[in-house]
Each structure stands twice: as C-alpha cells, then as structure tokens.
Structure 1
C-alpha cells in the first residue's frame, strides 16, 4: 500500500475553539488594524474586533440564539461578517453560511435543512432573505435590530466539545447530488488553520485583498481565519472587481494574492495589470478549481513572482495539499499538509496504486469533516469505515509526493470556482412543465473553467429557451445559470451518470 505522508512539520493539536485560536493571533497586537472595508476604507483594530465578538456573543446568549441554535449569515465580505461568524462561535452556537446571490427558494432550502433560527443579512438582500425566511427572524446589518443583538460582554468561550460540536455548516454538493450541509467542528477549523499557516509559509503582517467569499470555505479559512489568526490583515471586497483588487494589492503592498483560476487568467492577460505597481508581490496562490501548468507559469512570468497551487474541498475544512513556496512544481496541486496522509485508489477495485498511476484521491487527517447533516447515506459514501475521505477526483502522485489532478469521478461542474451540481440543474429543468427529460454537463471554458449547458427533451408544447432561462433566473443563483440549451430527441441513459455526461461531452468535442 502506497500512503503518502507530509514533509511539513506536524501541527500541535491544541484544546482551543476556532475563535480562541483566532484571538491568539490578535491579543498581542490590540492596536493594529486587522480588518479594512475595501470600498470605504473604514478599519477595525484587533481590540475592537475582539470586543465586538464578545459583545455579540453575550447578546446572542441573552436572546437564546446561541447554544443549540443555528444562526444563518447571508452577506458579502465585510468586517461585520467576521464579527458575526466568531460571535456565534464564541457563544457556543452554530453558523450556516449562505451565498448572497441565492434566490428566495434556495435560501428557504438551506434555512430549513440547517434548522436555522435567525437569518442575518444586509439591507440590499433583505427582500430575498425575507422571501426565504418563512417566518424566521431576519436582521439586517447596520440597522437598530442588528445593534440590539449586542449585549453584555461574554468574557470566555462558551464551553463546547471541540470534536463533536458543529461550529459551521457550509453547504457543498460533495462528490455528487444536491447541496448538503457539511458539519465542521472547532477541531476541524483550528487544525486546518495551522496546517495552512505552515504549508503556505504565512508571515505575520501579511495583508491581502479578500474577495474570495467568506461564505465559501476557501475564503472562510484561508482569508478570514488564517489572516486574523496568523497575525495578518484582511482588506475585504464585497465582490471581485479587478481595478479595486489591484489597487488594494498595490496600496497595501500585498506579499501574496489568494485567487481562483478565472482571476489568475486576468492577472496573466489583462492589460490593466500593467498600470499597477505589484513589485512587492512574492506569490500568487491558485485554488478552488483545477489549474494547469500553463496558467501558473504565465502568471509567474508576468508578475515576476511564484505562482503556486493548492487543493482542498469543503469536506476537508478545506486544505489538504499545498505546493511549498521553496519547491514549486508547475501544474502540481500540492503535497499533503501536516498531520495528513493521502493515497490514490483504483476506482473499480479500491486497491491502492503506487506512485505514477492514476486513481481516486483518498485523504485522511484531522481536518476531515464530521459528516453531512441529516444524510448518513451520503456520509457513508464519502467517508470510509476507517476514516478515509473519498474526494471523487482522479489524481496521480509522483515519486516526490507532488499530487496532480487529472480528471474527475464526481459529477460537479466547477464554474469560476463555484460548485454546480448537475443533478440540481436537471431537477430544476424537470420541474418546468413541458420538459420530458434533461441532462446537464460542464463545457470546458478557458475563462470560467466549465460552463453549465443543458440537453433538453421537450414534450408537446414545451417551453422555449427564453422561458427556460427566465425560470432559472427566477429560481437559481447567477452561477447556476445555463450558458447553452440544446433541444434533443433523447438523452442517453446508462447506469452511470458519469458515462452519460462523458458521451455528451464527446459529442460536443466531435462537433468542434
């Protein structure tokens, strides 16, 4: 059996909650600015941040919205996001994070599935939030109702079981199917914070332009928690805007950029990049979707810095692999991080493969999720009896331990770093009167990674393409929209959805 171990130093597993661990990186620098709102420039020191967290925690406890309760948060990146996240955690509650582009129906699904007791949002999203709240309390940041949530300072962390208490419930489609609540413990988040700090060679004082959404595990761990807990600063961006991203990186002399492949493409090709002084930049870190050697090499060449990749997934809190800055390798997704092992397994026989052979990537470590909320079957399909997490990605590990993603077993479409489940889009299509059958696949695209496109079988009097697009626009988030609709006489059926989708992709390739 070929099991790949980590060359990084082991992480010391501490008895801390995620907020205690973040505070550890703040207590020694109370007067330093740790959070900046990018568009407005307003800032927050470490002391103010910790005070706000503790007062929100006290208020949530007084309102019976802490222990045993779930707080839903649907907001763009902003300093208040970090306060709410850690206020809930400090109070002993659970937080579930929602995509701000969700429709009312998508909001309703997650609130119901997570048993959320309250939804906190921003005024701009209030109408959608209330539409999906179905009678739950909704509070908008910056209003008197929000201010009323703050109360007496809760000086110490509410006692929680670090391994069993679910502190955060982000939603992921996993290896297949509809979005599921990923149960992550305090231990998961704390260990992964320290694993990433070591693997990424994070330096105290690092400042980054934080556009990666905090509701997504990449932004949550690698931007919010690592920078606060590792002695850095985050300049928040509510959405990606290339001029603002470059301006922040220039003005704050960012040592590192955390990006996704579509942004890496802009860094490699967009003429605007040349108008900014990025001479202080040492590294561009690319993750959330596969990125080939050509892209990372192009970024590195243009910006005169090291371009590295990493690998992870929500179910891994999220980091399992990082390319070390002192030993970069083009195209590699990384080597396994501290306290973690991985192996490549034959998808059919489940036999471990030696270095150099392809197979499904399996990972074991303290960052592996507790499981999927309310879904034992999906949990059992993803985590083996002896603790290996099956990623659904086809990988190869070379003789030096560098892992490369080469294909995907799982059905997910990766659109600009976001997960899009074909099953969810197919269900949305089949809910439209006049559609008899449908299949959705990802069409490779240089800028986006993959574009969701649909093959649709119409019944008599079925909808037009415009009507289908209108239905999707009204019911699904922007990143789940169809970029192409093809009307066909039939959709091929097989025991494997993967085989069916590959057949459809092959058809498109032949046309090209």
Structure 2
C-alpha cells in the first residue's frame, strides 16, 4: 500500500529561502538576538542578520564578481555567524556548499572541484588546507576569506572584506523556479566510494522547514524556548533542523564550535536551553556520564535524535535520568532535506522513528519493488516536496535512486505498524554510520588496498553499545611475507588515519585468510557480520575466574 501522511496538507511556499526566512511569519522582534556564540555571548539579532546577509551578497558580487548560480564553499567549524555567508550567497543568486571543517586536502579538493566553487570561506584552524586545496582547483586568492576578525596567512576576514554598505536583493523566484534552483550542495557518501553532491533546492528547504515546524508548532513557545546548536552546521541535520528552523520560528540558538560535554552542560544550565537536536552518542552521555548529575539540565523539554538510529533502551535510559525531557526520533537523509519521518511530541514510542510528515507519500517494497503488506519489512521509498533535485554532475546515480514516479529509494529497511508509525530496522546500503557521519566502506577499502602489505580487504561497521555508534572495522588478508600481529594492526590503522578525516578512521582490524566473495566478486559483508557476532558472543561467554 501507499502510505500518505495523516497530517493536513499545506500549501508549499512559493518563494526563495531568503524571502521565506525574512517574511517573518512568526513576528520575531527585530531586536531579538537569534544567533548567539555560546562561549562568549556575541550575538546577531534578527534585523542584523538580514542586514548582514544582504550586504554580504552585495560584497560577493562587487569583490568576487559572483554571478547567478556561482557557488560559495563554507569550510569552517560551527560559528555564531555561519548563517551570514550561508545565506549571503543565496542573496547573490548563487548556492552554498558546506564542507566538513576536518576534511584533508584530497577530500576538500574533491568537493571544491565537483561543485566548481568560486569563493571559499575557511577558518584559522584549517586555513593552510584551504589554501592548498584552492590552489589545486584554481580558486583565486582574492576569493578566499576567513572567519574571525584578524588576517591569517594573508587571508582577510569576510566580515571586513565583504560586508560593505551596498545591499543586494535576491531574484524573486516563481514556485517552479524555486523547485529547480539549487540552494545548497551538501555531500552524501555513496557506497561506491566517492561522496556525491546533493542538489537541494530552495523549495526543498522551505517545504521541509514547514513540514517539520508544523508538527511541533503547538509545543513550542516562541517567547521562551531556546535551542542549542552543537551538531555540525555543515551537515544537513544541523543546517536545516537548527539554523533554518530556529530562524523561521524566531528561537535563539546557542552555537558551540563543536561538542564538548562540559560546555554543552554549562550552556544548557546557564541559558535555560529547552530544545536540543542531538545524536545518539550525545544521548548516551546524558544517560550514563557521571558529569550530568553536576548540572541543572531541567530546562530541557524536547530533544530530537537523528543521523543514526536511537535504540529504545537508550531512549528510556535518558528519560529515566531526565524525566522532564521528551526525546523523539526523526528519520531522513541529505537527499530528503533531511526530515521525512518524525515522532509527534505528544505520541512518542520508544524505538519508533515516527510518522510521515505532511505532504509526503511512502512505500515499503520487496527486492522486486513490489509493495509488501503492512507490518512486513522492506525498503523504504519516499516521495514529497523535500526530495532532492538530484546529484550534481551525476545523472546516473540520480536515476538509480529516484524512479519515474518521483519516489526516492532510501536503501533503508523499514516496517510500519498498525498506527502507521515507522521503524527503521536495517540498511540495504552498506554505509557505516559513525556518530552520525556516513563512512563508505569502498573508500576505506580502496585506501587499504594501496598498502604494500595488504593482499585483500573488506570493511564493515561493528556496533559498539558503549559509544552508541558503529565503528569501522577492517578485515584484512596480508601478503605472504607478513605475519599478523598487534603491531601490524596498528600500522594498518595508522596507514588509513594518515589519509582520511578522523571520523573515517579504521577502529579495529581482524586478520583473515580469504575475504568472502560471491561468484561475481562482490564482498559478502553479511558473512563478516556473522563472524563478528560470533566473536562477540564467544567473548561474552568466555569463562572468567
């Protein structure tokens, strides 16, 4: 059967993101601080943000000769003023691509090259990598800027170089143009190795913002509630669920550059934060870390968990410790902008990822694409105004996951109960989810196979309940003259670590005589997962003195 959202349909916004955000539907006071640095209390009001964004857009045009459909790349950790360049490029009728601030030279260069970025804004923490990548792909030095208020490595702060007197104003888009015009290019890892640039349109973002906020409007007090921004803003979860949601609702958001448990607790306690989009590893700390009892976290009312599954047991453990805290899951992908399924605040079910958001359709299908009976497992297909336009410069990959009816094939296995609550129970795709980040096994396997001591290999994710996340594990067949040992395992992990960003690192190594493969040569990862489960069972049942 085709599942249709039970929420009332809404008229999709028919403007671009800038007009949508600054239409001020929720009557946010102009002088209300909305974007706040949680470390030093610097802030930007609603009126200041609009002013800065319009002037930044003009600066792009005047200083960088930024034209319609040009791309600005953001390569920085969370900053309270991250929204200025993010939205400013849209004012100049271009698009923004957000890059992981920990990307190495190869990873950043790839994203800049695929998106053909014209302007790059970095941070003093990664300016050297930014300069090297820009030189490699041909970004002019005059088009590179930095966060902060000082010149670093000869690079000017964007606030002084680009925010000038003139204001630009974005083109007015028709509804059809809003559905076609790309606003953001976040990257989503594929199972074939290289990550893919997701073309998220103006209409994708405006519709998804309404889809989510309409679900929780009744539970939010826009005069009292406050949000914490600790998730990475380059990621679609942080980008949409924090920045766009907070700006649309008019909620102050306290932004931390990265997750630190002490700073997180201090921010919640000192600023009475009530709304917290988080990921399972953070919920695990809330459930178990001794530090939690030293802080007053009683202001927390609503928590959203996304980016990876939250087990029913972990959800219950957090609520046992923080009984005032309603924790609900959401499901989505970069390709769905991201929210597609979210638990209603007044009807949370432990282990459920929620119900379909408004204006959405879903199917659960078998391997042949046939719809399965309600309650049976199958691949989840989704359709709605939040489904991406496609992958940039990759029509083949787009055609593989969006069918002729407009359904996006998620690669995740789900089931639907009698009340149409969805449960994500498995994953067809082989991606490893490490603390909310996607790690493609094929990319790590490609690196491992360049090692002179490795004959063959396979990488899978092993779930670690102590960290509430999957950990990348390499199964390795060594060349004949190399003997397995702990030192060799460490050598292999370092070999990979030297070439990837931290979240992609191999966390354990197992030596194996032959990598199991099908007759066609495909790695049989299920065989390796079964071996890992058997190893874990034997370890648990090992006699102890």
1:270 alignment partner in structure 2? 289
2:541 alignment partner in structure 1? none
Name the CA shift for 1:495/1:352 in 2 (closer, same or farther; >3 Å): farther
- Equivalent-residue separation in structure 1 for 2:515 and 2:475 (angstroms): 7
Determine which of 482, 495, 508 is the counterpart of 1:471.
Answer: 495
Is 2:63 the counterpart of 1:65?
Answer: no
Task: Write out per-residue CA displacement over residues 60-81 of structure 1, whole angstroms, 9 at most, x where no aligned residue.
Answer: 1122124121111111111221
- Equivalent-residue separation in structure 2 for 1:471 and 1:332 (angstroms): 39
1:24 alignment partner in structure 2? 23
- Equivalent-residue separation in structure 1 for 2:14 and 2:245 (angstroms): 18
- Is the Cα–Cα contact under 8 Å of residues 380 and 412 in structure 2 kept in the other structure? yes
1:240 alignment partner in structure 2? 259
How do residues 254-293 of structure 1 correspond to structure 2 at under 5 angstroms? 254-293=273-312
Task: Write out per-residue CA displacement over residues 445-479 of structure 1, whole angstroms, 9 at most, x where no aligned residue.
Answer: 11141000101223356694344333322221100
Is 2:357 the counterpart of 1:314?
Answer: no
Count of residues paired in the alignment = 510
Give the C-alpha shift of residue 353 in structure 1: 1.4
Determine which of 217, 222, 227 is the counterpart of 1:204.
Answer: 222
How do residues 28-107 of structure 1 correspond to structure 2 at under 5 angstroms? 28-62=28-62, 63-107=64-108
1:123 alignment partner in structure 2? 124
1:149 alignment partner in structure 2? 162
Task: Write out per-residue CA displacement over residues 402-456 of structure 1, whole angstroms, 9 at most, x where no aligned residue.
Answer: 0001111000000011110111111111233342221100011111410001012
More off after superposition, 141-150 vs 84-93: 141-150
Determine which of 319, 325, 339 is the counterpart of 2:359.
Answer: 339
Give the C-alpha shift of residue 109 in structure 1: 0.9
Determine which of 527, 530, 535 is the counterpart of 1:503.
Answer: 527
- Is the Cα–Cα contact under 8 Å of residues 27 and 46 in structure 1 kept in the other structure? no
Give the C-alpha shift of residue 292 in structure 1: 1.5
Is 2:460 the counterpart of 1:444?
Answer: no
Larger Rg: 2
Is 2:269 the counterpart of 1:220?
Answer: no
The alignment's C-alpha RMSD in Å is 1.9
Name the CA shift for 1:59/1:271 in 2 (closer, same or farther; >3 Å): same
SS at match of 2:534: helix
Name the CA shift for 1:172/1:53 in 2 (closer, same or farther; >3 Å): same
Gaps of 5+ in 1: none
- Is the Cα–Cα contact under 8 Å of residues 516 and 523 in structure 2 kept in the other structure? no
- Equivalent-residue separation in structure 2 for 1:495 and 1:72 (angstroms): 43
Give the C-alpha shift of residue 175 in structure 1: 6.1
TM-score (norm: length of structure 1) = 0.95
1:9 alignment partner in structure 2? 8
- Equivalent-residue separation in structure 2 for 1:178 and 1:203 (angstroms): 43
Give the C-alpha shift of residue 251 in structure 1: 2.0
Give the C-alpha shift of residue 484 in structure 1: 0.8
- Equivalent-residue separation in structure 2 for 1:474 and 1:316 (angstroms): 33
1:493 alignment partner in structure 2? 517
More off after superposition, 279-288 vs 444-453: 279-288
